[in-house]
């Protein structure tokens, strides 16, 4: 084990080891030999399975992503096999043979929620694209069909963005529109482009980014709001009374600003548009200025339109997105400011968010950096190590230590 210093978290050996330790934590507990696929409901505290049946589509897809990243990092021999195991579960059980697409939630192998959601289908595309890059058999030929589902059922060409949710038979769309599903669609399209070189995927990713991170941000406060009407007007009132909502909170989320900062810099690798990097800096600056707790460390969950914190609990995933964003910003601008933030975020995570006994990360901390025990062991679950492996993989790519 490397002694931890600021140089440790920049050491590719340490980063690879940390990523694979997170993967191993879930691998030892999550492989479902009864129903197939994986069990996402693993306790942050002690690694026990607390619900062996619930399976959300994005969780299954994220497991495929994780094992594929493990293979790309020359991880254990089981990585490719387990990625293929996840693909089989997606196609045999999440796949809707009657209506097409992928159902949102399973109970064992039974459909618990047959709704079709853009967020879940985006992660299916991300899973197949990443698995293809890792050489997992059967993944590459599934990229185009996964993209076609997003294009046919969710894409709103007149707006240049995706609608969020439909009924199982693809009818009955809601009036809600949100940036989160579109952000992950952009992410998946970038991965699909990098796996195949298909320009259509890059064009679509760039168009989503232009519509959200540039145009809608400029129409608002200069930052990226979460919620919109069916015509993509800002919905400033949506969930105003629910700032702590897990999926659709009111307010600006530092974690999503950081995530977009990272995605815009990945776009900038492939397209020469100065606004990508400029906007990445703007979003990063807002996230650390308004979202970082200067007294106790960590990112608050969200802040209001005046920049004041709303929910001051700290979640693990903004830390991961901050790590990925700062790594790419440092690579892009060769600026020690970003390296200092990279070190600061990592060291906070290692001091407070990482469960040293098991190697996983706690989902949520209190404002005073204690484990938020009332928020642990929710079901169904989507936190399966995706953010950690993603952040480390992108860091290693930026530094030239991963393909």
Cα–Cα distances (Å) from 381 to 25, 43, 62, 123, 217, in that order, read 16, 10, 11, 15, 30
**Quick one: how far is CA 288 from the chain centroid?**
19
So what's the pLDDT on residue 383?
87
256 is catalytic: yes
So what's the pLDDT on residue 339?
97
pTM for the predicted model, two decimal places:
0.97
- Answer for the pair 207, 162: CB distance below 8 angstroms, yes or no: no
Indicate if the pLDDT at residue 4 is higher than 60. Answer: no
| Distance in angstroms (rounded) separating the CA atoms of residues 380 and 38 | 12
Indicate if the pLDDT at residue 3 is higher than 70. Answer: no
So what's the pLDDT on residue 113?
98
- 355-387 confidence digits (pLDDT tens): 999 999 999 999 999 999 876 567 788 989 999
Percent of the chain clearing pLDDT 90 (strictly above)? 93
- 170-204 confidence digits (pLDDT tens): 998 899 999 999 999 999 999 999 999 999 999 99
- 299-324 confidence digits (pLDDT tens): 999 999 999 999 999 999 999 999 99
So what's the pLDDT on residue 376?
59
φ, ψ for residue 250, nearest 5 deg: -75, 150
- 25-55 confidence digits (pLDDT tens): 999 999 999 999 999 999 998 999 999 999 9
**Class of residue 186 by CB neighbours under 10 A (exposed 0-12, middle 13-18, buried 19+):** buried
So what's the pLDDT on residue 380?
84
Compute the C-alpha angle 207/212/217, nearest 5°. 140
**More confident of the two residues 3 and 67:** 67
- 140-179 confidence digits (pLDDT tens): 999 999 999 999 999 999 999 999 999 999 998 899 999 9
93 is catalytic: no
Exposure class string for 90-112: b at 16+ Cβ within 10 A, else e? beebbebeeeebbbbbbeebeee
In 3D space, the residue among 197, 39, 210 whose CA is nearest the CA of residue 129 turns out to be 197
So what's the pLDDT on residue 6?
60
3-state secondary structure of 14: helix
- Which structure tokens are listed for 228? 């919109």
- The class of domain 9-398 in CATH terms is mainly alpha
Indicate if the pLDDT at residue 2 is higher than 80. Answer: no
| Distance in angstroms (rounded) separating the CA atoms of residues 225 and 227 | 6
Residue ranges of the alpha helices (H) in 220-369?
Answer: 254-270, 274-291, 316-333, 336-348
Compute the C-alpha angle 379/127/275, nearest 5°. 105
| Distance in angstroms (rounded) separating the CA atoms of residues 56 and 39 | 10
Size of the chain, expressed as the number of residues it contains: 403
- Answer for the pair 384, 336: CB distance below 8 angstroms, yes or no: no
3-state secondary structure of 292: strand
So what's the pLDDT on residue 108?
97
In 3D space, the residue among 228, 166, 180 whose CA is nearest the CA of residue 208 turns out to be 180
So what's the pLDDT on residue 221?
96
Indicate if the pLDDT at residue 270 is higher than 70. Answer: yes
Mean pLDDT lowest for which of 1-15, 19-33, 107-121? Answer: 1-15
Say which residues have a Cβ less than 8 Å from residue 180's Cβ, sequence separation at least 6: 119, 226, 247, 248, 256
Exposure class string for 49-84: b at 16+ Cβ within 10 A, else e? ebbebbbbbbbbbbbbbbbbbbbbbebbebbbebbb
- 223-258 confidence digits (pLDDT tens): 999 999 999 999 999 999 999 999 999 999 999 999
So what's the pLDDT on residue 5?
60
So what's the pLDDT on residue 1?
41
So what's the pLDDT on residue 373?
80
End-to-end CA distance of the chain: 25
- Which structure tokens are listed for 2? 């490397």
So what's the pLDDT on residue 94?
99
| Distance in angstroms (rounded) separating the CA atoms of residues 274 and 75 | 36
- Single out the catalytic residue among 93, 256, 270, 352: 256
Q: Where are the domains of the chain?
A: 9-398
């Amino acid at each position: 084990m490397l002694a931890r210093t600021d140089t440790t978290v920049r050491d590719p050996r340490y980063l690879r080891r940390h990523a694979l330790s997170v993967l191993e934590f879930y691998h030892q507990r999550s492989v479902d030999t009864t129903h197939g696929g994986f069990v996402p409901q693993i306790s942050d505290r002690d690694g026990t399975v607390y619900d062996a049946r619930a399976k959300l589509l994005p969780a299954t897809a994220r497991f495929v992503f994780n094992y594929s990243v493990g293979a790309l990092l020359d991880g254990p021999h089981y990585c490719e096999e387990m990625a293929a195991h996840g693909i089989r579960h997606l196609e045999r059980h999440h796949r809707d043979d009657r209506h097409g697409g992928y159902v949102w939630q399973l109970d064992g192998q039974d459909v618990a929620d047959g709704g079709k959601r853009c967020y879940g289908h985006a992660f299916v595309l991300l899973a197949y694209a990443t698995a293809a890059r890792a050489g997992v058999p059967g993944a590459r030929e599934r990229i185009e069909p996964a993209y076609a589902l997003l294009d046919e059922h969710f894409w709103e060409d007149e707006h240049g963005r995706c609608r969020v949710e439909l009924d199982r038979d693809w009818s009955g769309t809601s009036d809600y529109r949100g940036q989160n599903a579109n952000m992950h669609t952009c992410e998946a399209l970038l991965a699909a482009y990098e796996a195949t070189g298909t320009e259509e995927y890059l064009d679509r990713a760039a168009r989503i980014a232009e519509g959200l991170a540039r145009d809608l941000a400029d129409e608002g406060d200069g930052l990226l709001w979460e919620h919109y009407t069916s015509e993509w007007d800002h919905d400033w009132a949506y969930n105003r009374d629910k700032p702590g909502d897990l999926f659709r909170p009111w307010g600006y989320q530092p974690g999503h600003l950081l995530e977009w900062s990272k995605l815009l810099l990945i776009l900038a690798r492939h397209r020469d548009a100065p606004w990508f990097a400029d906007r990445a800096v703007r979003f990063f600056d807002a996230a650390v200025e308004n979202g970082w707790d200067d007294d106790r460390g960590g990112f608050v969950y969200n802040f209001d339109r005046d920049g004041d914190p709303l929910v001051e609990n700290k979640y693990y995933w903004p830390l991961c997105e901050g790590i990925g964003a700062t790594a790419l910003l440092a690579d892009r601008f060769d600026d020690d400011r970003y390296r200092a933030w990279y070190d600061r975020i990592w060291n906070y995570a290692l001091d407070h968010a990482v469960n040293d006994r098991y190697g996983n990360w706690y989902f949520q901390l209190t404002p005073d950096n204690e484990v938020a025990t009332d928020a642990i062991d929710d079901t169904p679950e989507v936190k399966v190590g995706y953010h950690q492996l993603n952040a480390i993989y992108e860091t290693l790519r930026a530094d030239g230590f991963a393909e």
